């Protein structure tokens, strides 16, 4: 049993041993559990086991349950699992074998952290507290059997500790002691030790909320951090915190506590992942700490950091004593976060080991997991990572090497991308390594330390029974923090023994699971950008296919036109403050415009907050607010502050990459100028002008005022040859290229340094469309009351679509009335004809009208509507009988309900009487209730079998099959004979 005792701070099995002798098992205590907690319980042992989960609040045990766990399986429990809708207290998980347990806690919309089993002691240390910047809740659980007098000793940075909060805690009870920010504590002890009182070890942790880092530029933290209370006896004269992060967007705060009642010096060293010291003017830092004193500084201050790039690594602390006095124990911790986002996590020292596990949650890439493996030994560590689902199925096994004296740091998406879902990562190493992780939301709004947990040395994951294809799509350009950003939402198709599609997640990772052996083709399906390579062939035999990596490329946008292409210069000193002078809205036509997609990436390799892909208009050197309408059309807003100087401005459309890279279109010129001449009319133009049909240039006469010999006529905001006539008239030239596309072409006039005049909109007409056929050529009349629209395909030519508004298309007209139309191509449309048009037989006139401006609708094509053939399924005349004593030639009229289908409004019932040989004749009357029911009135003249049929009139229609109807003879009671 003693083999499983690892000295892991905060997490290890030491806490599990509290009842090992008394109960012959292992127990794990989680103080500070609430309704929002989920507790993961794993059995990473070679044998099955059971686990009992008991919930205790401030008044004692509330509820519990026992679960069975197969070897290598996990389960997840919440207070709701034991029917607790609200809960605040502690949870104790116990079982006959060591378990792998952790809990995750969510607060509010974003904040979360992990809670790990708390160790029991009469003398606990909370190594990091918020100082005067935030409050802290100390959660305490007393497992009994004695009542505990719990004292939370609030330690000032000077070592003073006159402020003590006391709580008396009965056995199996929880409590929370709130310490306000005014207490200004750097760290805290939780003690129950008193040699004149019964031994009363307790378990505790601390929750820090609203922490203000005090680091330059760092925002206050809305995230919270759970800091475990560690037995003070576990601290020694040295400590290594396995993770810090420092860079343009990240900060780390280092805290060292002197746990001695005498002054001593400490040496603090920051090493980067490659084992080299972090560059700085004071690394290592030598610090004198008073008795019980502490120091807390960000890394820039403590080490005089000169490196401006992104760094990760370890913090080592060594006590050196003072004045010939031997070194005493110290505690070290690191608080890390993003500068501009409110995530916050506190990391404590962790010991090296050879077998452990990380529990994973089945989240998407809106969360990330970063992992750090440090090898402090002198030989490389050969490590195997295995990802096993909660149910016990092995998804993947991969080898990695951690070089000696170095640290391997990366995101889980990079190191082990197939490790996704509820499960655990089993880590086995041939040399002791120190592992730590950091989970967080991808936008860094929350961070939480991911700690290694128990795994049996004897546990072996089961063999894989299916395989995985996994890879990553990255931007080849590096982000500000180095590395290549994973690109989300890139679609992939996989064909082979199994066909499937997927898309990359927030980290740029894609994965196909549950594959059997075989040959597969993997193809990226990008939209709006390129992905290389264009595809690959994968052969799976008996292992996963990994590292199927791709990179994206940007497509170059093209710029066709800007409307308007000029704006009045704004001469005010502060244009934006002038009421009524809002931004100028421009419409831009072109191609390869890409909508913006905000996404996040990898915390360790890039700034995950600021990047967007998509298109943006660049006005001069300024990116301006842009709205993508479709791949060929966008609008942009030009602020008045960009219009203060007359002249021309180059306007481009820029497609952005995720790492800040971009590619620009060729520019068009935008004019910022003075008031233009006045345009009143344009005459002399061709009429009509059909788009794409003009082959020669033609002139137009532009009338107005303020013209000069330098006045220029502009078509589509492009200057054209102009002849000055007088100050009220100029003649401009329109090129065939100006009237290629149907629509309204702006014709303006411009003087030097002026903007364009108000435009004259020259109509360029859509051609007359041609309808060659309608399919189907005829339709059955929709006689049912609930009939649906009928679909018809119209084939022809010159069906138009407005390039600026793809929804503005040619429209199908039925008898001159437009109906819902789907534009397929310039030669094919689909019309959805309402049932009211086809309820009655006849001929419909089908035409097509192009969008405005157009010349005329197309020719008409007929669509025949014919009656359907009716069917009769039953007739019902009630219990009608014939009295044989009826006088000859007597009869009576009998209504008959005829049921069937496709009865048209003009349907007629026919009847054949068995009383004569005259055959079918019309019913005396026919009333159509619906397409499925008719009331026919027929004469009854004898007993026998009548035949009834229904006829729909021409066109189409016809007679249904006859249905017999028996009219029995009435039975005569002999008493009345």
Partner 1 sequence: MKRHLLMTFLAVLTLTEGAPAQGLSIKSAELSLSIGETSSAKKTFTIGPPQSSIPINGEMQLNSGTMYEARINFFTSNRIGSEILYGYQYSGVTFNRNTAPASSFSVPLVVHNFALNLLYYPLGKTDSQWRPFVNVGGGAVIYRPSTGGQASAKDPLQGNFDTFFESSRGAAMGGGGVKRTLTRKLGFRADADAVFTKVPTFGLPESSAQANATVLPVGGLVHSFRVSAGLIIYLGK
* H or E element in which residue 301 lies: helix 299-303
- What is the DSSP code string of 188-245? EEEE---TTS----BEEEEEEES-----TTPPPP-S-EEEE-EEGGG--SEEEEEEEE
Residues between 157 and 176 that touch partner 1 (CB under 8 A): 161, 164, 168
Among 139-147, 443-451, 600-608, 968-976, the segment contacting partner 1 (CB under 8 A): 139-147
* Comparison of 167 and 784: residue with beta carbon closer to partner 1: 167
Answer for which of 81, 135, 146, 581 binds partner 1 (CB under 8 A) is 146
Least distance (Å) from partner 1 to the CB of residue 263?
Answer: 15
* Comparison of 194 and 379: residue with beta carbon closer to partner 1: 194
Least distance (Å) from partner 1 to the CB of residue 290?
Answer: 14
Judge contact between 511 and 469, C-beta under 8 A. yes
Answer for which of 147, 184, 627, 733 binds partner 1 (CB under 8 A) is 147
Structure tokens, 483: 């590395």
Say whether residue 654 binds partner 1 (CB under 8 A): no
Say whether residue 19 binds partner 1 (CB under 8 A): no
* Comparison of 197 and 516: residue with beta carbon closer to partner 1: 197
* Comparison of 154 and 426: residue with beta carbon closer to partner 1: 154
Site size toward partner 1 (CB under 8 A) is: 21
* Comparison of 147 and 297: residue with beta carbon closer to partner 1: 147
* Comparison of 164 and 539: residue with beta carbon closer to partner 1: 164
* Comparison of 168 and 630: residue with beta carbon closer to partner 1: 168
Judge contact between 579 and 500, C-beta under 8 A. no
Among 185-193, 805-813, 839-847, 967-975, the segment contacting partner 1 (CB under 8 A): 185-193
Least distance (Å) from partner 1 to the CB of residue 194?
Answer: 5
* Comparison of 133 and 147: residue with beta carbon closer to partner 1: 147
* Comparison of 145 and 776: residue with beta carbon closer to partner 1: 145
User: What is the widest separation between alpha-carbon atoms in the chain?
Assistant: 142
Indicate the DSSP class of residue 303: H
Between strands 597-598 and 612-619, the pairing is: antiparallel
Least distance (Å) from partner 1 to the CB of residue 155?
Answer: 9
3-state secondary structure (DSSP) of residue 259? coil
C-alpha radius of gyration, the chain, whole number: 41
Answer for which of 83, 196, 621, 918 binds partner 1 (CB under 8 A) is 196
3-state secondary structure (DSSP) of residue 255? strand
Judge contact between 951 and 899, C-beta under 8 A. no
Q: Could you give the dihedral angle defined by the CA atoms of residues 835, 839, 842 and 848, in that order, rounded to the nearest 10 degrees?
A: -10
Q: How far is CA 186 from CA 101, 151, 168, 296, 916, in A?
A: 29, 16, 24, 8, 114
Q: Helices marked H in 745-786 — which ranges?
A: none
Say whether residue 198 binds partner 1 (CB under 8 A): yes
**Residue 290, phi then psi, degrees to nearest 5:** -70, 170
Say whether residue 187 binds partner 1 (CB under 8 A): no
Least distance (Å) from partner 1 to the CB of residue 184?
Answer: 18
Q: How far is CA 376 from CA 117, 357, 405, 549, 908, in A?
A: 26, 19, 5, 32, 98
Indicate the DSSP class of residue 867: B
| List of E strands, 70-196 | 73-77, 88-95, 100-107, 111-115, 123-126, 135-142, 148-155, 163-169, 173-179, 187-191
Indicate the DSSP class of residue 313: E
- What is the DSSP code string of 503-515? E--TTSEEEEEEE
Say whether residue 194 binds partner 1 (CB under 8 A): yes
Structure tokens, 271: 């090493």
Among 187-195, 223-231, 598-606, 640-648, the segment contacting partner 1 (CB under 8 A): 187-195
Which residues are bridge partners to 521 per DSSP? 495, 537
3-state secondary structure (DSSP) of residue 4? helix
Which residues are bridge partners to 615 per DSSP? 655
Least distance (Å) from partner 1 to the CB of residue 161?
Answer: 7
* Comparison of 258 and 801: residue with beta carbon closer to partner 1: 258
Between strands 662-664 and 647-656, the pairing is: antiparallel
Indicate the DSSP class of residue 445: S
Say whether residue 199 binds partner 1 (CB under 8 A): yes
* Comparison of 158 and 556: residue with beta carbon closer to partner 1: 158
Judge contact between 430 and 355, C-beta under 8 A. no
Least distance (Å) from partner 1 to the CB of residue 60?
Answer: 17
* Comparison of 21 and 888: residue with beta carbon closer to partner 1: 21
Answer for which of 197, 516, 519, 921 binds partner 1 (CB under 8 A) is 197
Least distance (Å) from partner 1 to the CB of residue 296?
Answer: 20
- What is the DSSP code string of 803-861? TT-TT-B-EEEETTEE-EEEEEETTEEEEEE-GGGGSS-EEEEEEEEPSSSBS-----E
Residue 664 CB: number of other CB atoms within 10 A? 15
* Comparison of 153 and 603: residue with beta carbon closer to partner 1: 153
Say whether residue 195 binds partner 1 (CB under 8 A): yes
Least distance (Å) from partner 1 to the CB of residue 122?
Answer: 8
CA dist 733 and 310 (Å) reads: 60
Least distance (Å) from partner 1 to the CB of residue 146?
Answer: 7
* Comparison of 149 and 852: residue with beta carbon closer to partner 1: 149
Answer for which of 14, 153, 554, 700 binds partner 1 (CB under 8 A) is 153
3-state secondary structure (DSSP) of residue 11? coil
Say whether residue 144 binds partner 1 (CB under 8 A): no
Q: What's the burial of 383, exposed, middle or buried (CB within 10 Å: 0-12/13-18/19+)?
A: buried
Among 545, 538, 544, 549, which residue's Cα sits nearest to residue 508?
Answer: 549
Q: How far is CA 64 from CA 78, 102, 117, 146, 903, in A?
A: 11, 17, 17, 22, 68
Least distance (Å) from partner 1 to the CB of residue 195?
Answer: 4
Least distance (Å) from partner 1 to the CB of residue 138?
Answer: 14
Q: Helices marked H in 121-222 — which ranges?
A: none
Least distance (Å) from partner 1 to the CB of residue 169?
Answer: 10
Least distance (Å) from partner 1 to the CB of residue 3?
Answer: 24
* Comparison of 289 and 943: residue with beta carbon closer to partner 1: 289
* Comparison of 150 and 531: residue with beta carbon closer to partner 1: 150
Residues between 287 and 326 that touch partner 1 (CB under 8 A): 292
Answer for which of 151, 209, 428, 474 binds partner 1 (CB under 8 A) is 151
* Comparison of 292 and 310: residue with beta carbon closer to partner 1: 292
Residue 222 CB: number of other CB atoms within 10 A? 19
Indicate the DSSP class of residue 277: B
Among 72-80, 149-157, 267-275, 768-776, the segment contacting partner 1 (CB under 8 A): 149-157
Among 522, 680, 685, 657, which residue's Cα sits nearest to residue 601?
Answer: 657
Among 192-200, 434-442, 493-501, 839-847, the segment contacting partner 1 (CB under 8 A): 192-200
Residues between 205 and 264 that touch partner 1 (CB under 8 A): 261
Answer for which of 108, 145, 277, 964 binds partner 1 (CB under 8 A) is 145
Least distance (Å) from partner 1 to the CB of residue 291?
Answer: 10
Least distance (Å) from partner 1 to the CB of residue 417?
Answer: 48
Say whether residue 467 binds partner 1 (CB under 8 A): no
Answer for which of 28, 87, 189, 224 binds partner 1 (CB under 8 A) is 189
> Which x/- pattern over 261-280 shows residues binding partner 1 (rule: CB under 8 A)?
x-------------------
Interface contacts to partner 1, rule CB under 8 A:
122, 145-147, 149, 151, 153, 161, 164, 168, 189, 191, 193-199, 261, 292
């Amino acid at each position: 049993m003693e083999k499983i005792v690892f000295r892991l701070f905060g997490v290890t099995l030491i806490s599990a041993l509290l009842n090992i002798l008394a109960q012959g098992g292992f127990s794990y205590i989680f103080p500070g559990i609430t309704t929002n907690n989920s507790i993961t319980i794993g059995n990473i042992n070679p044998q099955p086991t059971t686990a009992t989960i008991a919930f205790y609040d401030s008044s004692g045990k509330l509820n519990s349950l026992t679960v069975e766990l197969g070897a290598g399986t996990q389960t997840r429990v919440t207070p709701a699992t034991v029917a607790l809708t609200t809960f605040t207290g502690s949870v104790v998980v116990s079982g006959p074998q060591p378990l792998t347990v952790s809990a995750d806690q969510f607060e509010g919309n974003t904040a979360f952290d992990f809670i790990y089993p708390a160790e029991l002691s009469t003398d606990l240390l909370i190594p990091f507290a918020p100082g005067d910047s935030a409050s802290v809740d100390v959660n305490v659980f007393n497992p009994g059997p004695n009542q505990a007098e719990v004292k939370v000793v609030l330690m000032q940075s000077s070592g003073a500790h006159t402020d003590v909060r006391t709580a008396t805690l009965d056995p199996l009870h929880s409590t929370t002691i709130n310490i306000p920010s005014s207490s200004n504590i750097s760290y805290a002890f939780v003690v129950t030790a008193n040699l004149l009182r019964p031994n009363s070890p307790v378990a505790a942790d601390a929750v820090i909320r609203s922490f203000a880092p005090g680091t330059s530029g760092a925002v206050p933290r809305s995230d919270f951090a759970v800091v475990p209370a560690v037995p003070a006896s576990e601290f020694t004269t040295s400590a290594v915190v396995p993770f810090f992060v420092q860079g343009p967007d990240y900060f780390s705060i280092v805290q060292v506590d002197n746990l001695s009642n005498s002054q001593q010096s400490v040496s603090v060293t920051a090493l980067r992942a490659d084992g080299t010291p972090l560059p700085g003017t004071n690394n290592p830092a030598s610090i004198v700490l008073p008795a019980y004193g502490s120091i807390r500084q960000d890394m820039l201050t403590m080490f005089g950091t000169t490196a401006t790039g992104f760094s990760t690594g370890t913090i080592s602390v060594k006590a050196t004593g003072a004045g010939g006095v031997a070194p005493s124990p110290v505690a070290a911790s690191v608080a890390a976060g993003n500068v501009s986002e409110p995530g916050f996590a506190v990391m404590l020292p962790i010991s090296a080991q050879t077998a452990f596990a990380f529990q994973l949650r089945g989240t998407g890439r809106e969360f990330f997991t970063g992992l750090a493996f440090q090898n402090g030994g002198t030989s490389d560590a050969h490590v195997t990572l295995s990802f096993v689902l909660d149910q016990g199925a092995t998804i993947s096994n991969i080898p990695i090497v951690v070089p000696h004296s170095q640290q391997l740091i990366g995101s889980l998406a990079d190191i082990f991308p197939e490790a996704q879902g509820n499960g655990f990562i089993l880590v086995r190493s041939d040399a002791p390594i120190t592992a730590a992780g950091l989970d967080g939301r991808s936008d860094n709004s929350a961070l939480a330390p991911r700690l290694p947990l128990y795994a049996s040395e004897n546990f072996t994951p089961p063999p894989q029974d299916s395989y995985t294809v996994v890879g990553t799509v990255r931007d080849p350009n590096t982000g500000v923090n180095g590395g290549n950003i994973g690109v989300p939402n890139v679609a992939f198709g996989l064909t082979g023994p199994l066909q499937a599609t997927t898309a990359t997640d927030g980290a740029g990772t894609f994965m196909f699971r549950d594959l059997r052996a075989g040959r597969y083709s993997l193809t990226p399906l990008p939209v709006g950008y390129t992905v290389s390579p264009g595809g690959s062939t994968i052969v799976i035999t008996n292992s996963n296919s990994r590292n199927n990596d791709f990179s994206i490329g940007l497509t170059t946008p093209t710029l066709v036109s800007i409307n308007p292409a000029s704006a009045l210069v704004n001469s005010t000193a502060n244009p934006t403050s002038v009421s009524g002078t809002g931004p100028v809205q421009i419409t831009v036509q072109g191609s390869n415009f890409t909508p913006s997609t905000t996404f996040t990436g990898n915390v360790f390799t890039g700034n995950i907050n600021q990047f967007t892909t998509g298109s943006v208009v660049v006005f001069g050197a300024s990116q301006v607010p842009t709205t993508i309408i479709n791949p060929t059309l966008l609008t942009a807003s030009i602020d008045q502050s960009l219009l203060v100087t007359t002249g021309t401005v180059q306007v481009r459309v820029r497609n952005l990459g995720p790492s800040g890279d971009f590619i620009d279109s060729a520019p068009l010129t935008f004019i910022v100028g003075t008031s233009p001449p006045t345009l009143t009319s344009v005459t002399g133009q061709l009429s009509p002008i059909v788009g794409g049909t003009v082959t020669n240039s033609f002139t137009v006469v532009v009338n107005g005022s303020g013209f000069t010999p330098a006045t220029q006529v502009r078509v589509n905001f492009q200057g054209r040859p102009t002849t000055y006539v007088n100050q009220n008239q100029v003649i401009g030239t329109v090129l065939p290229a100006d009237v290629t596309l149907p629509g309204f072409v702006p014709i303006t006039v411009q003087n030097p340094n002026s903007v364009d005049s108000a435009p004259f909109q020259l109509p360029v007409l859509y051609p007359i469309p041609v309808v060659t056929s309608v399919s189907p050529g005829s339709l059955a009349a929709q006689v049912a009351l609930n009939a649906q629209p009928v679909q018809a395909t119209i084939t022809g030519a010159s069906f138009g679509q407005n390039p600026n508004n793809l929804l503005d298309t040619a429209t199908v007209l039925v008898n001159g009335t437009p109906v819902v139309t789907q534009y397929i191509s310039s030669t094919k449309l689909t019309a959805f004809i309402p049932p009211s048009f086809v309820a009655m037989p006849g001929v419909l006139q089908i035409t097509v009208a192009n969008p405005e401006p157009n010349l005329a609708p197309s020719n008409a094509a007929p669509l025949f509507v014919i009656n359907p053939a009716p069917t009769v399924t039953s007739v019902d005349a009630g219990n009608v009988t014939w009295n044989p004593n009826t006088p000859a030639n007597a009869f009576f009229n009998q209504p008959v309900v005829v049921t069937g289908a496709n009865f048209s409004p003009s349907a007629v019932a026919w009847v054949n009487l068995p009383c004569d040989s005259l055959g079918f004749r019309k019913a005396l009357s026919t009333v159509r209730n619906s397409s499925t029911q008719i009331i026919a009135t027929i004469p009854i003249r004898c007993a026998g079998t009548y035949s009834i049929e229904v006829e729909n009139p021409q066109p189409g229609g016809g007679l249904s099959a006859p249905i017999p109807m028996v009219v029995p003879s009435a039975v005569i009671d002999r008493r009345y004979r």
